[in-house]
Structure 1
Amino acid sequence: MTAAYTLYAKPGFAATTIERLCTEARISNRAFYECFGGREELLQALYERCVDEALTVISKAMQDAPARLDARISAGIATYIDFATSDWRRARIMHVEVRRSGDVLAASRQRAVESFARIVEDETQPFPRSAPFDRHLLALGLIGVLQELLIEWVLAEQPPSTDELVRAAVHIFHRSFSGLS
């Protein structure tokens, strides 16, 4: 998994063969297939591990934040961006390579999006519903914002700072959910 973590990030999922993974990991092809059914299954395991870790750190950050909606969401956004960008490989796998894998990880990706959206929905639930849009759709929109900002961070020749990413995401959140707090 360590070899895949690096190789799937660069040169990327599509360019990483089983043979290259096994050479880098110093294992036989047979040993690989005893653990995984293929490259896709290994990418899924890496992706799901990253998502589980992200959900854990975000939930803790939001629980530890003051009980105000803006503080909790800001803590969640900042924690997620910090988590994703603290290792460029993680950011690339979670936001670029998972999309480049095609339909292989569509179900895993959709489960992850739903899990992140549920956190936003749960956090905003105690606040009066005066926003003109469905809370679930707004949560999905915020998840999309975070994904696109992180894709920009990964792919841009001159990536924005993580502070800029946090400020942009928090601003968009506040504008979108301002009727709730």
Structure 2
Amino acid sequence: MSAAYTLFAHPGFHATTIERLCSTARISNRAFYECFSSREDLMRAVYERCVDETLDAVNGAIDSAPPTLDDRIVAGIGEYVRFVTKDVRRARIMHLEVRRAGDVLSGARQNAVSAFTKIIESSVQELPNTLPIDLHLLALGLIGAITELLIEWVLADPAPPIDELIDASVHIFRRTFAT
């Protein structure tokens, strides 16, 4: 898993062969296949671990925040961006390589998006039901915005400062849910 975490982040999923994974991990191909059915299966496991760890961090931050919507927005988004960018490998796997892998991870990616959508939806439940658009669709759009900001962080040289990513994301959420 450790070798895959590093190699899937760079040089990337498509450039990482099973032979390279096994060589880096110092295991035999046979040992690999005793644990995983394919390179795709390993990528899914690495991606899902990244998502699960991130969900735990974000939920913990939201649960520890004061109960106002603004405090939950600041805590949840701040933790998401800080946690994902703490390790560029995590950011690359969650926001770049998951897309590059294509159909291989589409189900896992949809599950992750659904989990983060539920966090947003549950965080804004106390709002009056006067939103001009379906909350689920709005949450998906917000996730897309943060995803694009993190892709920019991964690919840009120089990368935008983390605080600016957080500020932009918080601004988008605040403007979206201003009542």
Structure 1 length-normalised TM: 0.97
Contact 1:131–1:178 (Cα < 8 Å) also in 2: no
Work out the CA distance in 1 between the residues paired with 2:107 and 2:178.
Answer: 31
Question: Partner residue of 2:68?
Answer: 68
Structure 2 length-normalised TM: 0.98
Work out the CA distance in 1 between the residues paired with 2:62 and 2:44.
Answer: 27
Instruction: Give unmatched runs, 5+ long, in structure 2.
Output: none
Work out the CA distance in 2 between the residues paired with 1:127 and 1:64.
Answer: 20
Work out the CA distance in 1 between the residues paired with 2:86 and 2:166.
Answer: 14
Residue identity opposite 2:107 in structure 1: A
Q: What secondary structure does 1:45 align onto?
A: helix
Question: Partner residue of 1:173?
Answer: 173
Work out the CA distance in 2 between the residues paired with 1:40 and 1:167.
Answer: 35
Q: State the shift of 1:73 in Å.
A: 1.2
Deviation track 1:9-31 (CA, whole Å, cap 9, x = no partner) reads: 11111100000000000000000
Question: Partner residue of 1:51?
Answer: 51
Contact 1:57–1:79 (Cα < 8 Å) also in 2: yes
The runs of 4+ residues in structure 1 deviating greater than 2 Å are none
Question: Partner residue of 1:158?
Answer: 158
1:40 and 2:40 aligned: yes
Question: Partner residue of 1:128?
Answer: 128
Question: Partner residue of 2:31?
Answer: 31
Identity fraction in percent: 62
Instruction: Give unmatched runs, 5+ long, in structure 1.
Output: none
Aligned residues: 179
> RMSD value over aligned CA atoms?
0.7
